[in-house]
Chains A and B, each alone.
Chain A
Amino acid sequence: MKIVVVKPERCVGCLQCRFACSVAHSLSNSPYAAPYETILSKPRIHIGLSVNKEPFPNKCRHCDPAPCEMACPAKAIFRETSTGTILINPGRCINCGMCAMACPFSVIRYHVYTDNKAAAHKCDQCILRQKEGKIPACVDVCKSGALIFEDYNKIMDKGTDELASLVYLGIREKEQGKSPYPSLMAYKNILHEIKRR
């Protein structure tokens, strides 16, 4: 199952994901017309600044089991079984605020976006774009690689491989005691190779 994975250390805080998200969820689906719609489309990804002013992209993790799904008394929050995405049915939402209380990552906001009533509002992993065969809009525009759309296990595998190669090269360098340059080049090549997988 593919999900959007956030790598906060790569984020530069350009907020392009927020813009792309709003456009992708607007009615017109166009960056020129979206700001003039009656109901303004709001971004579903939030960038918070830490104490050290580091940006942190924060979006729905589509947890399993999902605390928001459990807390929702109206059963407006449900899991789409084919993609494992947690979705909100704004028609059923009664705007009681329980999901914001239950969410451990604080990604749920309340906005008016359909049916002319306020409802819970969060990332839907661009489920409509995915049906067209596209990847989520925020991942599409992220230039720094802070947002990745990939199978969760595959990402974990890559991370493990990167760390393993770094440790291996470090040990080799310590034993051989040569200049660090060949090791750095080797590491760079390995990272490229892992990234291409």
Chain B
Amino acid sequence: MNVVIIGLSAAGLSCLDTLLRFSPDTDITVISEEKYSPYCRCLLTYYLGRKLQEDQMTIKDISTCPANTHFIFGERVEQIDTKKKSVILSTGKEIVYDKLLVATGSNAIKPKYYGEEKRTFTLRYLDDAKKIEQYIKDKAIVLGGGFVGIKTAYGLFERNIKVTMIISSPYPLSMVLDERTARFVERDLKGLGIVMRTQEDIAEIRMEKDMVHISLKSGTELKSDVIVVGKGVKPRVDLAKKSGINTDLGITVNEFLETSAEGVYAAGDCCGAMDVVRKTPWINAIWPVAVEQGYFAALNMSGAHTPYPGSIGMNSLKTNTFHLISGGVLKDEEGITIFEKHIPHKNQFRKLAVRDNVPVGMAFYNSPEDAGIIINLIKKGLPLTVDPKKIVNSEVSLMDILKPL
């Protein structure tokens, strides 16, 4: 079998590893547009915080791969010919495949004033981080209050850079958390010394004496060395679209992660697989989901028909002072009951959203011990066997939850 993988990040790498493990006689060609050996995007914020060096970010030593694996770095795929079963590279080279994985990932959403001359960067590639590193001195502005924004701000804060966060919504993490949980995060980040300006946005940017001068909508003037934008990501589906593969939110896939073209699979941030909680195709652009989808795509490619069970949005945010794990949907909707408990002396907060006795969302603040079980219950759509009040009170053990199942 001849497998071609487009993209060498989470999904592509996981697919490669799984194929090497379960069907070692497959001929694999990996096409990556980056010039670096595979690294992890999640580590970019740690790289900015100088906790990691560049060589520590490499997550796979490609020289250890067997001889039937070929790597093409620094080249893009221009077209997929689904009838002839081949991909055409930017150099004009044509590579034939039996099975193809499209793991093109996603791009950061760029604001209109984006650009190096305005010192405004997104944090998506190693090159972005290097550029930020080049311009940063002692002040930075982080735009957007999502997980990337907060992790960037915390990373920069740890190397004694004055960070100001500008968040357009009334509280941070407004896409994933409810207000009460988010206030704990806000309080802790402010306590560390990160300045947070909520319900604000940038009105104007101008360069003066090698510093960016920013006017906010409220009229406040700020100065900074760089602006880092973390406003979410957008799936890269243009390659699939122009090759005639059905796309919707992301690339449309069936339960075996196969696209509308035969033998073409999709995984990662560009793949619109089923979301367990929302029960519609949805893109959860996070590392663990991409790895999982790459694993299932590889299983299906090698002939072991394994349906992908679906993903949920989840994330973990850990700093010196707090650890937040959230998953699923926490919105107060019709038919969803919310259970919550705040234990002030332990500085813990647990919140659980339950629909028809099946957990659909959770946010555990400072209590990572119980989070994994609930996340997996949400992921598998399994019902709760104990009173949810006891779970938020942390009065149950794993046995109570798992034994009756």
Q: Which residues of A approach B to under 8 Å, CB–CB? A: 8, 48-51, 54, 56, 58, 65, 67, 70-71, 73-75, 92, 94-98, 100-106, 108-110
Contacts and interface: CB of A to CB of B under 8 A. Distances in A.
A10 to B, nearest CB: 13
B318 A50 contact: no
A50 B400 contact: yes
A110 B368 CA distance: 9
A19 to B, nearest CB: 20
Given A51-B390, A75-B40, A101 B372 contact: yes
A75 B369 CA distance: 22
Contact of A96 (B314, B318, B373, B375): B318
B30 interface: no
A98 B288 contact: yes
B63 interface: no
Nearest to A71: B288
B64 interface: no
A101 B43 contact: no
A97 B372 contact: no
Interface in B21-43: 40-43
Interface residues of B, number: 40
A100 B372 CA distance: 6
B43 A106 contact: no
9 contacts: A70-B14, A73-B43, A73-B287, A74-B59, A96-B316, A96-B318, A100-B369, A100-B371, A105-B372
Interface in B356-392: 368-373, 375-376, 386, 390
B369 A101 contact: no
A61 B303 CA distance: 28
Given A70-B14, A98-B288, A48 B397 contact: yes
State the 8 A-B residue pairs at the shortest beta-carbon distance, nearest first. A48-B397, A73-B42, A97-B318, A97-B316, A71-B288, A104-B376, A103-B372, A100-B368
B399 interface: yes
A58 B398 contact: yes
B372 A106 contact: yes
B52 interface: yes
Interface string B38-63: 00111100100001100010011000
Contact of A56 (B60, B368, B386, B399): B399
Nearest to A79: B21
Nearest to A96: B318
Contacts of B51: 94
A104 B373 contact: yes
B397 A70 contact: no
B370 A97 contact: no
A94 B41 CA distance: 13
A69 to B, nearest CB: 9
A94 B43 contact: yes
A142 B146 CA distance: 47
Nearest to B386: A51
Interface string B325-366: 101000000000000000000000000000000000000000
Given A8-B399, A58-B397, A101-B316, A70 B371 contact: no
Contact of A109 (B43, B317, B369, B400): B369
